[in-house]
Amino acid sequence: MHSAQQIKALQDKKDIIVMAFESSCDETAAAIVKNGREVLGNAVYTQIAIHREFGGVVPEIASRNHVAKLPIVAEQALLEAGLSFADIDAFAVTSGPGLVGALLTGVSYAKGLSFALKKPLIPVNHMEGHVSANFISDQDLEPPFICLVVSGGHTSILLVEDYGKYRELGTTRDDAAGEAFDKIARVLGLPYPGGPALQELAKGGNDEAYTFPKAFKGETHLDFSFSGLKTAAINLIRKLERQDPDFNKADLAASFQKAVVSTLIKNAFEAARREGMDKLVLAGGVCANTLLRSEADRLSKKYGIALTYPKLAYCTDNAAMIASAAYFTMNRGCAKLDLNADPSLDVTGKTPAYL
């Protein structure tokens, strides 16, 4: 069937059940979501323990584990939903951005299912997935809103004008916030992934012990830069280690966390103010951070801005957010069998290159 006809037939249905797969990094995930908001089944197999001994994700090992685990998480999601493949209206898959080999495993698996079961396949941008996690956690959320997207590989502020329509208001010029957390955690000797471990260490620390340089002081754009902060923190850690190998790491972690969070928050609220938006949404793995969430809570009350962030389970990588994004963007059309993984797929690109 022609893809436009397939999508039309889908949209005529009262309830649409999408089954999605996510394999862009080190989580192998499958989920089943009804009408973009109601999660019927959600299974995540995290490879964190496997990659921990290497201090970060090893792409080839990630791909091999995705291949082994995709059928298992698919089975789990179906079991939880009490459904079979025959009940699925459309499949969806993360086709980028991410690790190319890892993405290919999910794309190939989903293409196989779509072909064999004659159901449409909707390709999804991973970052669009992170934004859409909020449609699950907040059933009433609708665009337009400002979204601060903070993950391991991306940090940006988007104006979400409509479902699937984004304008980038600011982005990082170097490292992503999650990358900075992971790097400093590693230098402090904490296990991968660094973000949650650094947050835990910071709990007992004094966040005013150290001050770090602020990037772009006095400039008016909304971009981020974390590499200067990262280098300053590494140099400080080396200096403190030389002075006393048992220096207070919790103070360092708390001060560093505060520096990252305050920059993220400042630009996000400034974006809302400039665009006259009264809704701010957080997305991506780093928005699991408790300080980021509590600071955003505090300022949203102060400025009278409605704040939404996903439940913790939907902050880090999962497939429910991919199914939700697929539901809200299916009018773009569905993929053909030559769908490929695109490791640098851009969320603000007008027409997804994969359709």
**Residues near ligand KG4, by CB under 6 A:** 25, 151-153, 178, 181-182, 193-196, 199, 284-286, 288-289, 316-317
Instruction: Give CA–CA dist 98/277, Å, rounded.
Output: 30
Query: 164 with 328: CB under 8 angstroms?
Result: yes
Instruction: Give CA–CA dist 132/283, Å, rounded.
Output: 8
Candidates 95, 151, 257, 308; binder of Zn ion (CB under 5 A) is 151
- Report, in Å, the least distance between residue 81 CB and Zn ion: 23
Q: Which is nearer to ligand KG4, 169 or 198 (CB)?
A: 198
Instruction: Give CA–CA dist 92/353, Å, rounded.
Output: 16
DSSP 286: G
182 interacts with, out of Zn ion, ligand KG4, none, CB within 5 to 8 A per kind: ligand KG4
153 interacts with, out of Zn ion, ligand KG4, none, CB within 5 to 8 A per kind: ligand KG4
Q: Does the protein bind Zn ion through residue 27 (CB under 5 A)? A: no
Question: What amino acid occupies position 332?
Answer: R
Query: 158 with 167: CB under 8 angstroms?
Result: yes
| Angle at 293 (CA atoms; ends 328, 306), nearest 5 degrees | 55
Q: Does the protein bind Zn ion through residue 132 (CB under 5 A)? A: no
162 DSSP β-pair partners: 165
Q: Does the protein bind Zn ion through residue 26 (CB under 5 A)? A: no
Residue 290 CB burial class (10 angstroms; 0-12, 13-18, ≥19): middle
Helix or strand run (H / E) with residue 9: helix 3-11
Q: Which is nearer to ligand KG4, 62 or 81 (CB)?
A: 62
Which stretch, 186-194, 237-245, 286-294, 309-317, contacts Zn ion (CB under 5 A)? 309-317
Which stretch, 151-159, 188-196, 243-251, 321-329, contacts Zn ion (CB under 5 A)? 151-159
Phi, psi of 94, deg, nearest 5: -70, 120
- Report, in Å, the least distance between residue 319 CB and ligand KG4: 12
289 interacts with, out of ligand KG4, Zn ion, none, CB within 5 to 8 A per kind: ligand KG4
Q: Does the protein bind Zn ion through residue 156 (CB under 5 A)? A: no
- Report, in Å, the least distance between residue 44 CB and Zn ion: 12
279 DSSP β-pair partners: 306
- Report, in Å, the least distance between residue 151 CB and Zn ion: 4
- Report, in Å, the least distance between residue 156 CB and Zn ion: 13
Among residues 77, 48, 76, the alpha carbon closest in space to that of 320 is found at 77
- Report, in Å, the least distance between residue 105 CB and Zn ion: 16
Q: Which is nearer to Zn ion, 155 or 267 (CB)?
A: 155
Q: What's the distance, CA 240 to chain centroid? A: 34
- Report, in Å, the least distance between residue 3 CB and ligand KG4: 28
Residues 316-335 that bind Zn ion (CB under 5 A): 317
101 interacts with, out of ligand KG4, Zn ion, none, CB within 5 to 8 A per kind: none
- Report, in Å, the least distance between residue 164 CB and Zn ion: 18
Which stretch, 40-48, 83-91, 149-157, 244-252, contacts Zn ion (CB under 5 A)? 149-157
- Report, in Å, the least distance between residue 306 CB and Zn ion: 24
> Count of residues binding Zn ion (CB under 5 A)?
2
31 DSSP β-pair partners: 20, 42
Q: Which is nearer to ligand KG4, 88 or 136 (CB)?
A: 136
Phi, psi of 307, deg, nearest 5: -115, 135
Q: Does the protein bind Zn ion through residue 6 (CB under 5 A)? A: no
Residue 120 CB burial class (10 angstroms; 0-12, 13-18, ≥19): buried
Helices (H) and strands (E) in the chain, counts: 11, 10
Longest dimension (CA), the chain: 70
- CB atoms closer than 10 angstroms to residue 346: 15
Question: What amino acid occupies position 83?
Answer: L
Q: Which is nearer to ligand KG4, 155 or 329 (CB)?
A: 155
